[in-house]
A and B are shown apart, each in its own frame.
Chain A
Amino acid sequence: MMMIEIRDLVFEYPGHRALCGVSLSIAAGSITALVGPNGAGKTTLLRCMAALETPYAGHVAIEGLDTRDAPRAIHARLGYLPDFFGLYDALSVRRCLHYAARAHGIAPHEAAGAAQAAAARVGLADRMEQAAGALSRGLRQRLAIAQAIVHRPAVLLLDEPAAGLDPQARRDLSELLLSLRAGGMTLVVSSHILAELEDYSDRMVIVDHGRIAGGQSIALKAGTHLRIRLAAARGDLKDFLSGQGLTVAEASADHALVTMAGGPPQKAALLAALIQAGFAVMEFSEDTRALEDVYFEQVKSQVESKGAAP
């Protein structure tokens, strides 16, 4: 089931077209990463999904509701964390969350419980009486997310949620996003930090110059990326790897990038199979840059296709 449907979305600022006919479907219960260079249109796309902006043309539907026809109904169904969010610094965490709960339509007698539950979910339960303005950057981020999820929305949109966070806070954020997905929420996360997206994203959408590079989202397979280089080129390398049940991200006669599930025994077995098949393996290593390669490949092909256009 698709939770978010975007069709031919066009959005303009005076003199600038920020989105040029974007079409995209996002499945319920998934985490989709929006990536792309600054100024690509990610924030505008998120704001259109949140029914905060009215598109020039095209449609955005959340759970079948069009953002143009039913913006308030959509607002009730989603949570949104802007890239530069604000908090009521003078209020305590408890009051911030209580207000967020009430503002999202939670009944007065249930608001305190909802606030407590949201705080517990983001690890702020022990700081309920602390003023929001006294929290660290990471804790403020958690409070902002708690405000966005206090009403248990069906869709959560996060714009650069990891920006400015330390490594531990980023790991906590990844775990939080995965737990929200496990609870049935659909998440769309815009980010610059490609390496972390693989930890929690199901699909990646590359936005560039107001379009989706490649025209669609890219599935991110869970597992390890392996780079294989041969001392002597063999034309059947790709077929061999595919025959082993691996996902081949890229391949040539002397090198390949594959994604494989499993741990060290599976890697050892693959290496043994390659050697047994007579491949002169000179490099067999994990590649943490795999996602970046996919990203740059897509962006590069988009630039080339534009250059080829009359």
Chain B
Amino acid sequence: MNPELQRNLWLEATPFRLALIAGLLMLVFLATSVAPMGLATRSGAARTLYWFFAVLWGTRSAALSVVAEIRERTWDGQKLSAIAPWQMVWGKLFGATAANWFGALLCLPFVLLPVWQNQGLAATLTYGIILLSLGVFAQAIALLSSLVLIRRNTGNWRLDIFLCQVAGICAAFAYYTLWERGGSQTLNWWGHAFNLSSFHLVSLLVFLAWALVGCWRAMRAELRVANGPYVWLAYLAYLSFYNAGFQLPVGRHWDIAALYPGEVKLVLAEIALLASAYGMAFLEPKDPVRLRWLGEQLRAGQFYKAFLAADAWMLSYGAALLVGLLLAVVSAALAQPLALPVLAMLGFLTRDVAIFVLMRSIAGAKGDFAALAVLGALYLLLPMIFGGVHSGAWISMFLPFPPSSLGVLLAWAQGAVCAVWAARSIARDQPTAKDAVDQSQ
């Protein structure tokens, strides 16, 4: 047996705990069968308890599987073990949540029984797959979040676990809501009509697979195994392709009907890449020492080495820049109005990523929240102020709309200034021998 799974089973699935869960569930089901009251029917209670065990409590157990190791100072021992990253991931994912799954699986038959009686076997199987996948998905997202957060080394494990739980719960509820509302509606994706519920189910399974891949990669990094950029690039390609299959929502600043289909696909892909770039720029550590090391590799002409060591936020930024430039070129060639706002937006993206790096360099782990505050001011407060005093022309300094050449210049000027500022800040971080300090983790 996977030793990590075994250890977790020893700790989490103790006979006492399992007996307690089974006994309590038996009493709940007995009470709701004998005296159902309103929503408190047996199947309703089972469904609520399934969510409690698999999602609410399960996400906490999954997040704790790594954070508790750090808190209890056993993580170094695990990192030095011979357990492979994937073994470590599934050993934690299913071991730390063993008691949760025990309770959830006891509830599942009572959830599925009325579905089978009313809608037949196919619907029961689909619903069962949805519930099981959502449980694993929520827990995988919580585990992945915890692996990302420990790299940020915030030192506040209670907040970290809460955030991981929130991430897992939100992911599960969002998908469940989408799936439930799907019904018999159809969805047009890449020109093909799909049953909406089926589409959401397949999407969930694919994103679950990506979440597990993410956990595996994050665990590899923790175990000091080099990851390389290719899996993240493949994820970005998938994300762009997935998003590009949908329809562009109606916006104030563009006329969808006037855009060419290929242009629309590029816009949708760019939206996904921008979300990824901003998300990873916020989440990843942006360690100044590592950035300086990467800079030295580039200066030494070791481009491939630097590329192999690039962080996810750098790859996302690069991909967003490339696709954005392609979109601007295509739009300009087709005499479409998107070229200028897209170019301005890329300038703002450069500025914003540089602000994340700069703030991290100045304020350490709290710098990411400082960066969010700065971006909030740049995108909300300053446009409101300038709009309020009727200096509308100055809004181009803060937003890509309305499109103008001056706006593009101003956006890229800000991007360049912030990038240089961030680079200088990282260079200034270089310590002297007098700064030698021993900091054990």
User: Hey, which bits of chain A sit against chain B, CB under 8 A?
Assistant: 12-20, 38-44, 47, 50-52, 54, 56, 71-72, 75-76, 78-80, 82-88, 90-91, 95, 99-100, 102-105, 108, 147, 151, 159, 209-211
Q: How far is the CB of B349 from chain A (nearest CB, A)?
A: 25
Is there an interface contact between A52 and B10, defined as CB atoms closer than 8 Å?
no
Q: How far is the CB of A158 from chain B (nearest CB, A)?
A: 13
Q: Give 16 new A-B contacts, CB below 8 A, not counting A14-B287, A209-B434, A211-B433.
A: A12-B431, A13-B289, A14-B429, A16-B431, A16-B437, A17-B431, A38-B438, A43-B440, A54-B224, A72-B225, A83-B440, A88-B11, A95-B10, A103-B4, A147-B77, A210-B438
Q: How far is the CB of A236 from chain B (nearest CB, A)?
A: 42
Is there an interface contact between A52 and B76, defined as CB atoms closer than 8 Å?
yes
Is there an interface contact between A71 and B225, defined as CB atoms closer than 8 Å?
yes
Complex CA distance for A268 and B77, rounded to whole angstroms? 51
Q: Which B246-287 residues have a C-beta within 8 angstroms of A?
A: 287
Q: How far is the CB of A73 from chain B (nearest CB, A)?
A: 10
Q: Which B6-27 residues have a C-beta within 8 angstroms of A?
A: 6-7, 10-11
Q: How far is the CB of A209 from chain B (nearest CB, A)?
A: 5
Q: Which B46-75 residues have a C-beta within 8 angstroms of A?
A: 69, 72-74
- Residue B3, interface by CB 8 Å: yes
Is there an interface contact between B82 and A75, defined as CB atoms closer than 8 Å?
yes
- Residue B177, interface by CB 8 Å: no
Complex CA distance for A160 and B361, rounded to whole angstroms? 32
Is there an interface contact between B431 and A50, defined as CB atoms closer than 8 Å?
no
Q: Which of B4, B288, B438 contacts A39 (CB 8 A)?
A: B438
Q: Which B404-438 residues have a C-beta within 8 angstroms of A?
A: 429, 431-438
Q: Which of A56, A72, A209 contacts B293 (CB 8 A)?
A: A56
Complex CA distance for A199 and B225, rounded to whole angstroms? 38
Is there an interface contact between B289 and A14, defined as CB atoms closer than 8 Å?
yes
Residue of B nearest to A55 (CB): B293
Is there an interface contact between B3 and A99, defined as CB atoms closer than 8 Å?
yes
Is there an interface contact between A75 and B79, defined as CB atoms closer than 8 Å?
yes
Q: Which of B288, B436, B440 contacts A209 (CB 8 A)?
A: B436
Which of B10, B224, B289, B364 has the most chain A CB atoms closer than 10 A to its own CB? B224
Jot down 16 A-B pairs with beta carbons below 8 A, ordered by A: A12-B289, A14-B429, A16-B435, A17-B431, A17-B432, A18-B439, A52-B79, A72-B225, A79-B80, A84-B440, A85-B77, A86-B73, A102-B3, A103-B4, A103-B78, A103-B81
Q: Which of B6, B79, B433, B438 contacts A40 (CB 8 A)?
A: B438
Complex CA distance for A12 and B426, rounded to whole angstroms? 13
10 shortest interchain CB distances as A-B pairs: A86-B73, A210-B436, A102-B3, A105-B82, A103-B81, A43-B440, A71-B224, A86-B74, A16-B437, A17-B431
- Residue B382, interface by CB 8 Å: no
Complex CA distance for A54 and B294, rounded to whole angstroms? 13
User: Hey, which bits of chain B sit against chain A, CB under 8 A?
Assistant: 1, 3-4, 6-7, 10-11, 69, 72-74, 76-83, 223-225, 287-289, 293, 361, 364, 429, 431-441
A50 neighbours in B (Cβ, 8 Å): 80
Complex CA distance for A182 and B152, rounded to whole angstroms? 42
Which of A40, A50, A79, A99 has the most chain B CB atoms closer than 10 A to its own CB? A99
Q: How far is the CB of A23 from chain B (nearest CB, A)?
A: 15
Beyond A44-B438, A105-B82, A209-B436, whether A72 also contacts B289 by CB under 8 A is: no
Complex CA distance for A108 and B3, rounded to whole angstroms? 9
Q: Which of A14, A44, A80, A151 contacts B364 (CB 8 A)?
A: A14
Is there an interface contact between A72 and B77, defined as CB atoms closer than 8 Å?
no
Q: Which of A85, A91, A210 contacts B73 (CB 8 A)?
A: A85
Is there an interface contact between A14 and B288, defined as CB atoms closer than 8 Å?
yes
Q: How far is the CB of B439 from chain A (nearest CB, A)?
A: 5
Is there an interface contact between B439 and A75, defined as CB atoms closer than 8 Å?
no
A52 neighbours in B (Cβ, 8 Å): 76, 79-80, 224
Q: Which of B4, B224, B288, B434 contacts A51 (CB 8 A)?
A: B224
Complex CA distance for A86 and B73, rounded to whole angstroms? 5
Complex CA distance for A235 and B35, rounded to whole angstroms? 105
Complex CA distance for A307 and B433, rounded to whole angstroms? 13
Complex CA distance for A18 and B435, rounded to whole angstroms? 8
Complex CA distance for A84 and B74, rounded to whole angstroms? 9
A83 neighbours in B (Cβ, 8 Å): 440
Q: How far is the CB of B311 from chain A (nearest CB, A)?
A: 14
B78 neighbours in A (Cβ, 8 Å): 103
Complex CA distance for A86 and B67, rounded to whole angstroms? 13
Is there an interface contact between A104 and B439, defined as CB atoms closer than 8 Å?
no
A99 neighbours in B (Cβ, 8 Å): 3, 6-7, 10
A84 neighbours in B (Cβ, 8 Å): 73, 440
Is there an interface contact between A72 and B223, defined as CB atoms closer than 8 Å?
yes
A44 neighbours in B (Cβ, 8 Å): 438-440
Complex CA distance for A273 and B360, rounded to whole angstroms? 69
Which of B10, B289, B435, B437 has the most chain A CB atoms closer than 10 A to its own CB? B437
Which of A16, A51, A151, A159 has the most chain B CB atoms closer than 10 A to its own CB? A16
A85 neighbours in B (Cβ, 8 Å): 73-74, 76-77
B361 neighbours in A (Cβ, 8 Å): 14
B438 neighbours in A (Cβ, 8 Å): 18, 38-44, 210
Q: How far is the CB of A93 from chain B (nearest CB, A)?
A: 13
Is there an interface contact between B435 and A15, defined as CB atoms closer than 8 Å?
yes
B6 neighbours in A (Cβ, 8 Å): 99, 102
Is there an interface contact between B436 and A16, defined as CB atoms closer than 8 Å?
yes
Residue of A nearest to B2 (CB): A102
Residue of A nearest to B76 (CB): A82
B11 neighbours in A (Cβ, 8 Å): 88, 90-91
Is there an interface contact between B289 and A39, defined as CB atoms closer than 8 Å?
no
Complex CA distance for A105 and B293, rounded to whole angstroms? 34
Is there an interface contact between A17 and B436, defined as CB atoms closer than 8 Å?
yes
Q: How far is the CB of B441 from chain A (nearest CB, A)?
A: 8
Complex CA distance for A203 and B3, rounded to whole angstroms? 38
A18 neighbours in B (Cβ, 8 Å): 436-439
